[in-house]
A and B are shown apart, each in its own frame.
Chain A
Amino acid sequence: DAKTTQPNSMESNEEEPVHLPCNHSTISGTDYIHWYRQLPSQGPEYVIHGLTSNVNNRMASLAIAEDRKSSTLILHRATLRDAAVYYCILRKTNAGKSTFGDGTTLTVKP
């Protein structure tokens, strides 16, 4: 399975944008890039996913490098509620398992 690399932790100020990077240099053509987050004492929560093109939804934006070897999750205005562990996960097509790494712990300061 292709592996992802994320920084262990990042900090942001409330109401500022946050860019969470992920490297996945061994990604294959059938891997979708998924982002999940886990708030304290909760189950993982889907954030966004994409294949090649940048994606936007109500929670975040996903910017995918042209060579697909890296991606960036963008939270446009961080709130205190966005403090969580963010996971970048590669999933095969047809609803395969999610392999969680250590993720990035995002701290949001008021």
Chain B
Amino acid sequence: EPEVTQTPSHQVTQMGQEVILRCVPISNHLYFYWYRQILGQKVEFLVSFYNNEISEKSEIFDDQFSVERPDGSNFTLKIRSTKLEDSAMYFCASGKTGVSYEQYFGPGTRLTVT
């Protein structure tokens, strides 16, 4: 069964450093998303991406964040200058076209900012 994959599974970085989290969505999906979950808290929406542009973003997704689909398979989330409060699990998700199809989530990348 096709699945969303994410790399790395765990990333440790120092405050102020740039990080890139990588995702490979399911191949025939056209909608892509990033969510995050701070330890013990809710899953929070960050951004959705369709047709090579951001379709929606949350207040969390400020100028420090960017997303890109650099080729036909990868979908990346970049944090330019990490802060301690960016420590969280980051989940990528993808979905088909059509009316309210389900989202498929990856296993997540645990980001630890020290």
From 30 to 81 in chain A, residues with beta carbon under 8 angstroms from any chain B beta carbon are 32, 34, 36, 38, 42-46, 49, 51
Residues of A within 8 A of B48 (CB): 95-97
Binding site for A on B (CB under 8 A): 4, 31, 33, 35, 42-45, 48, 50, 56, 58, 91, 93, 95-108
A102 at the interface (CB under 8 A from B): yes
- Which residues of chain A have C-beta atoms less than 8 A from B43's C-beta? 38, 44, 87, 98, 100
Chain A residues in 8 Å Cβ range of B58: 97
A43 adjacent to B91 (CB under 8 Å) = yes
Q: Is A99 an interface residue (CB 8 A)?
A: yes
Interface: A7 (CB within 8 A): no
Cβ contacts under 8 Å, B98 to chain A: 95
B23 to chain A, nearest CB (A): 11
